[in-house]
Amino acid sequence: MLKPQPDVTMSWSIRRANEADADMLAEIWLAGTPHAGGNDQEDPGISMAEAKAFMLGRIRLPGPEFGVWVGVADDDETILGWQSLRPLSDHPLVRYCSAESSTYVNEGVAPRGVGPRLVEHVVLGATRTRLEHIVAFIHPDNAGVLKVAAKVGFVRVGPLPALKWRPAPEFEIYAYPVGR
């Protein structure tokens, strides 16, 4: 279960996720997914088993560039949120150049600054890897993550092109230049 409203002043740390975290990470992901595409989206209907498999796939990504990081309360080890980086392309020549970022914070915690601290930790850590850009696909109605992206220093690259049947862009591309 997601833990409601921990103490605002709690101290917490960031570590790499391990496979034992997968259930909790999946739960946080499923709770946040309807909000990631704007704020009034339908439940996408992803099962817990699919969500867990998705998280395990990310946790098992090889290399220092990629994987999942978690924010954990120091007192009782409640997982407050997670941040992942995965390769944007599997092409061997560019696999290590660009990563896609995803950030999901436990609904019982947000907004307490967990998201920006997780993202910042991971983009700063990326300076010790081969990564050049960290890319995020952000829905223009997702006000919370837009604030996080601005706080951390992501640059708006632009919208994906409109479609005949959907003139407003569903997602916009933001990028953090690791090698600037």
Ligand X SMILES: CC(C)(COP(=O)(O)OP(=O)(O)OC[C@H]1O[C@@H](n2cnc3c(N)ncnc32)[C@H](O)[C@@H]1OP(=O)(O)O)[C@@H](O)C(=O)NCCC(=O)NCCS
Q: What angle do CA 69, 72, 74 make, to 5 degrees?
A: 145
Under rule CB under 6 A, residue 32 binds ligand X: yes
Q: How many residues of this chain bind ligand X (CB under 6 A)?
A: 23
Under rule CB under 6 A, residue 111 binds ligand X: yes
Q: Cα Rg for the chain, rounded, in angstroms?
A: 16
**Could you say which of 6, 14, 26, 35 contacts ligand X (CB under 6 A)?**
35
Report the residue number, 44 or 130, with the smaller CB distance to ligand X. 44
User: Quick one: which of 176, 166, 76, 108 has its CA closest to 136?
Assistant: 176
Under rule CB under 6 A, residue 105 binds ligand X: yes
CB atoms within 10 A of CB 142: 19
Under rule CB under 6 A, residue 138 binds ligand X: yes
Q: Which amino acid is at 45?
A: G
Smallest separation (angstroms) from ligand X to the CB of 80: 8
Smallest separation (angstroms) from ligand X to the CB of 1: 17
**Could you say which of 25, 103, 123, 172 contacts ligand X (CB under 6 A)?**
103
Per DSSP, the three-state class of 41 is: coil
Instruction: Give the span between the Cα atoms of 135 and 141, in whole angstroms.
Output: 18
Under rule CB under 6 A, residue 154 binds ligand X: no
